[in-house]
Amino acid sequence: MNFDPTKMYTRHLKRVFNLFHLSDFKESLDDWKDKALCAHPSAYYEPNLREKLVLFVKELQRLTEAFHLLLLKKTAEQASKKWENPRSKNRTTHHRPLFLTPHEFRNPFLVIHSFTQTYSKTSAEGELLDMLEAAVIYRGALPDNKECLVLLYRQLDFLIKLAFAMKKNGLKKQRKFSTKPRVSAYVGNRGKI
């Protein structure tokens, strides 16, 4: 029996992506990053710390896209079991990943593995908290929308915790990062081929 760590978190992932679409995550993270860079005083006063923030935000965006793809794949599997065609659902641009390579698009576990190799759980959570603090103390000309900062923080914190839980539960062992894409196609109402 293969371990599927997303199985027990599917309900929570649905909640996360019902609250924020991929485009919402991108816009909110970009806005958050801008405020963190402009805030004074903040943890990002040195150039190397600002660069670290920019790279971290990019990796967070990639992580959200990877989890969104995993949720879509899980939903598609469930839909095929019920003889539904998941492609019939309206997929608009706010659900389209922008930061993943075609290889990562086929295997989102690569992104999760890369994130957990690049950052420790403590440093990722600390960086996220530093971003929140800098965005909260920001006073300036950028539009101020602090109402959803804590909600966004909680969603991103959950995704970080999920990535490290997956690593702890054998992401590396259970998923072979092959270069071959998994073949699955949907034809009409016949289900998965």
Least confident of 3-7, 30-34, 79-83: 79-83
**Tens digits of residue pLDDT in 128-185:** 999 998 888 888 887 777 778 888 899 999 999 999 998 887 754 444 433 333 333 3
CA-nearest of 55, 82, 67 to 20 is 67
Q: Write down the domain spans for the chain.
A: 10-174
What local confidence, expressed as pLDDT, does residue 155 receive? 93
Give the span between the Cα atoms of 164 and 167, in whole angstroms: 5
Residue 60 exposed, middle or buried by CB count within 10 Å (0-12, 13-18, 19+): buried
- The tally of CA atoms less than 13 A away on the side-chain side of residue 37 is 17
User: Residues 39-87: pLDDT tens digits?
Assistant: 887 788 888 988 999 999 999 999 999 999 988 887 776 655 443 334 4
pLDDT above 60 for 107: yes
For residue 25, what pLDDT band results from cuts at 50, 70 and 90? confident
Mean pLDDT, residues 89-99: 55
Q: What is the pLDDT of residue 92?
A: 46
